[in-house]
Amino acid sequence: MAEEQSRNNINQEYNTATTGLNLDSSVNQVKQGSLTYALNAAIENFDGNIVNYQNEMGNDLCVTFPKSYLLIGTHFINEKNKHIFFLVNPLTSMSQIGYMENNDCIYHVLVEAACLNFNVDHPIHKVVHKITNCTIELYWTDGLNPRRWLDINNIPYLLKPGSDLCNPEFTNELDCNQIKIQPNFSIPQLKVVDVRSGGELISGTYQFAIQYCDPVGNPYTSYYSVTNPTPIVDLTLATVNFNTPVSKSIVLDITDLDVTGQFQYYNIAVIKTIVAPDAILK
């Protein structure tokens, strides 16, 4: 038995790369602690106390993107096990945002539009997501376009021309203005057009301003278009008390409201300047 082991040319003791790789020496010249070949090898033990080797896991083709589209960014939503992909076609300048769910290796197109303006020279390195009770929001930047975001469960589409804002009809084209963090929108204009009899105003001067808001009045923007002071007074009443009711009302004209669907509600602010009697005495 001992003679058979001595005749065996196979060395049962494997080396560990404690001194590194030796690619120049022949097998007989390699010392203990060196390796001559370690392709696709990975160190199994991470603390260095025991060094063993195992084969590195390979990759399998899972998702095939549309023809001529190139991947410029990815993001993984761990809570939903959803992979997000950002693609661009340099030949047609079309861009896509797609996804894969539960590692099913099926690519789904979320949105496709030229106005996304993705570019292979500006990859998307930073993407974050926010999960709410209703949806999932993506936020990203590429250093080329403005900072943008997307509600993946509520894609904003362009309104059809002439569509009624109270009963809007939409196209199948993505509205890239609405996915901007700071979108472009029309500044509304206010104008006092008339002062009429009838009302419960207090004598003084009045100004007005307007801002966009949500359905319950929470502001989305600053106040715009502050009007010039409008005096309200009863010329037939002679009194030192300026804080008196006057039976008048003010008519406003509002123009240039945003019609893209970005904002649908607004607040009107009233700035009153009422002079009290004690202020006059002082």
pLDDT the model gives residue 27? 74
CA distances 227 to 10, 77, 209, 246, 268, Å, are 96, 48, 7, 21, 11
What are the sequence ranges of the domains in the chain?
A: 1-58, 70-174, 189-281
Model-level pTM greater than 0.85? no
pLDDT the model gives residue 282? 42
Torsion angle in degrees (nearest 10) through CA of 25, 28, 32, 38: 60
Candidate ranges 18-27, 145-154, 242-251; pick with highest mean pLDDT: 145-154
Using alpha carbons, select from 187, 189, 212, 205 the residue that is nearest to residue 250. 205
pLDDT of 134 higher than 80 = yes
> CA-CA distance, 139 to 148, in Å (whole number)?
6
Mean pLDDT of 253-274: 89
Lowest mean pLDDT among 48-62, 75-89, 173-187, 245-259: 48-62
Could you give the angle at the alpha carbon of 63 between the alpha carbons of 60 and 68, nearest 5°?
120
> CA-CA distance, 130 to 77, in Å (whole number)?
9
- DSSP SS3 for 2: helix
Tally of CB atoms within 10 A around 48: 8
Mean pLDDT of 139-145: 95
Using alpha carbons, select from 231, 230, 140, 208 the residue that is nearest to residue 179. 140
235-253 pLDDT per residue, tens: 777 766 667 888 899 999 9
pLDDT the model gives residue 142? 94
Residue whose structure tokens are 């030949």:
91
pLDDT the model gives residue 34? 74
Determine phi and psi for 13, rounding to 5 degrees.
Answer: -100, 110
Q: Output 106-114 pairs: Cβ under 8 A, ≥24 positions apart.
A: 106/63, 107/63, 107/64, 107/65, 107/66, 109/66, 110/150, 110/152, 110/155, 111/150, 111/155, 111/174, 112/174, 113/173, 113/174, 113/176
pLDDT the model gives residue 277? 55
pLDDT of 192 higher than 50 = yes
